[in-house]
Structure 1
Amino acid sequence: MSVLFETSLGDIVIDLETEACPKTCQNFLKLCKVYYYNLNAFFNVSKDFLAQVGDPTATGTGGESIWSLIASQKGEKAPRYFTPEFVPRLKHKQRGTVSMAVAPAVGEEHKGGCGSQFFITLGDNIDYLDGKHAAFGHVVEGLETLDKLNDVFVDSDGRPFKDVRIRHVEILEDPFDDPAGLVVPDSPPTRPPDNSTRIAEDEDPLETLPEEEAEAIRRKKAAQASALTLEMVGDLPFANVRPPENVLFVCKLNPVTRDEDLELIFSRFGPIMSCQVIRDKKTGDSLQYAFIEFDKREDAEQAYFKMQNVLVDDRRIWVDFSQSVARLNTSWSNNPKMGAPMGRGGRGRAKGGFGGRDDLEATTRYREQSQGPGDDYGMVFDVPGRSHKSRSRSPRRRERSRERPRRSKSPRERRRDDGRDRDRRRSRSRDRRSRDRYDRRR
């Protein structure tokens, strides 16, 4: 009467002493039949001594007999263990002896005996186990598997660092009738019964990947760590957020390039929902980069390939897909226009700002005011009903300013203002030439 154990280290065939130990062998075979030992881990391995298995919890305190298992499935109570069968001629002399682990008696309620745990000896002449644990079989095939099991690395408690599991059990011959109430599952389990944190039995910790795959894995882990860091500091709403696929980032712009110029140039690829040159909050000077949002992702991809390194206002621009995701987060922006529609009326406005910067959230775009051609700059997305001038001066402050005499400008200030006017006139002239060149190309 034999049983085949397919383990993660190899196969083991065990012959059972069914005539000398009928109750022990019946318990063992029926537990094998209900897949009780499938995916169990060897939780105690001592070199040249023994390898213990049969506890689903892999702690050394679990396991029960087949009769206790049947009773528990019915909601009834039965003794957890049965009385061990000690046979004087069955001793622990040879390596590969299979023996039931005998639990000691604790008090009157907990009587000792045999449950489901068993062990296989890994050395010869271990005679001090005779009379303490009940031998009932021996290994006839798979001694090389026992050699591998004897050489595994274990911790201070004898648990292998890499799990060694019984993958499958095959009963080669069973002479016993099934106990009353025995229910055989339709299929063996697919998940281990214990919650092991060790190296998995099918995992190779020393396996090396090709350099390209290893580099890709390292970059992916580094990106995940960076995203988690940005989430912790508040720059990302959540770590798994992805940047929009229809927004382009354009940099290396000429300081004189305006929103209208970029929109005119990029509009040939498709409808543009937003075109915005980012400018300094105080001076209104261009920061020489912009964000362009297309209606469709395909249009953004086409513009990305066609406009790379193109000459715009005597500058070769750089185009890339936007990596900003701040516009997806609507809970930490001070922009009063948050949530406004993104049509033509909201051109130059990307919801949520860019990169989580407060200055760009509050001042998304500047344009020339109607006071004079190129005289001053104003914010498009100010608080409704309040211009930048009315916000900077309260009525009382304006009244005080009328009472104070106006200070005449110094020669240095007049030269500075004349230079600014001259620069604005040159800028408008260059803008007109750029539009004319573009119109001629079209």
Structure 2
Amino acid sequence: MSVLLETSAGDIVIDLLVDYAPKSCENFLKLCKIKYYNYAPIHSVQKDFSFQTGDPLGPNSKDSDGGKSIWSVLSPTTAKAFLPEFHPKLKHKERGTVSMATTAGLKDPDQRIGGSQFIITLGDDLDYLDSKAAIFGKVVEGFDALEKINDAFADSEGTPLKDIRIRHTVILDDPYDDPPGLIEPPQSPLPTPAQLATVRIADDEEIAKEEDQEALEMLRREREARAQALTLEMVGDLPFAEVKPPENILFVCKLNPVTQDEDLQLIFSRFGQILSCEVVRDKRTNDSLQYAFIEFENQKDCEMAYQKMQDVLIDDHRIHVDFSQSVSKLSDQWRGSENAKRKKRGGGGWGGIQDLEKKRQYRAEVDGIRKGDGRYGMVFEKGGRKRDRSRSRSRSPPRRRERSRDYDRRRY
């Protein structure tokens, strides 16, 4: 029982584990048979981790419904999701593991439901995906294609700069009877107008080497940062790889060593209510490290202080003010709540439905995501508001932001 995926990165042959995941394998095979996956974009590429595909329009299309199961395609009154199998013997141990992308059910959060989207791993020992993605196959040929996808330049959302798409699907062996109403198209259908509208740079279009070098370098750095953030999330140092720093905390540096917490709080309190003000000190000598964090109750007060206090003299030192890039407090709160849960239930480690739902709820609180939008993410629903670009441009250049992060690491 095998399927050949012809992609713009190369051919990929998948062996299906019908004995362990019959429902997921039937869904995948029949979707391939009706050419549902044709021209589906490959997205959410995370180097040495995984990529995702199976949505005919992809996550960047406003018209996308996230993808449907074969039973929903054949009968529109049927729910578009189904319950995939999670066999205890199947783990994300090897590169090329193929699994259904799932999300928590709306009626029962303890259930995982899937539609058409699936994941292929690009690294080994990814137990983080166990119990979150339902394994139903493995890649047996086409690892060169996986390597091309792994090395592709992608934006901050993991979408390749140059389109990578499934061009065609060929069923090599199908043990299942066709469900009622299934009609196999006589030939591969052409892309729909909605699919063509999602094209950024066509997979057969050549990119001029002299063009976009700066953009490619920026994408490379973003991709590297994203991979590092994902690593921190997997080991528990970040609650979520794309967590954003709070916007009501100021980072203040170049302080005079004699400046005290009370001095800063008194000076900055004229802009609004301050929740905390701390000059960071050496743990051994208690000497000031000449930087501090000031947390305001309101974001607007924080922005006003940022605008007014740049290069102001305090104790004969001209200070520098920036918005904090630290998420350490958020991580500490996250770890604290999770550690308390582990002690209560007498267990340890990450993963499981409760941890996943906590992360989904956490992201909803931070990014303002609406629940139940019908989309199927790899592990979490995508979305969230973006920072105001005009304000972002008025902030410090990248070099100063990197300095702020270095200070944050020394603090926590």
TM range (shorter): 0.3 to 0.5
* TM-score, length basis structure 1: 0.44
Higher relative contact order (CA 8 A, sep 6+): 2
Larger Rg: 1
* TM-score, length basis structure 2: 0.47
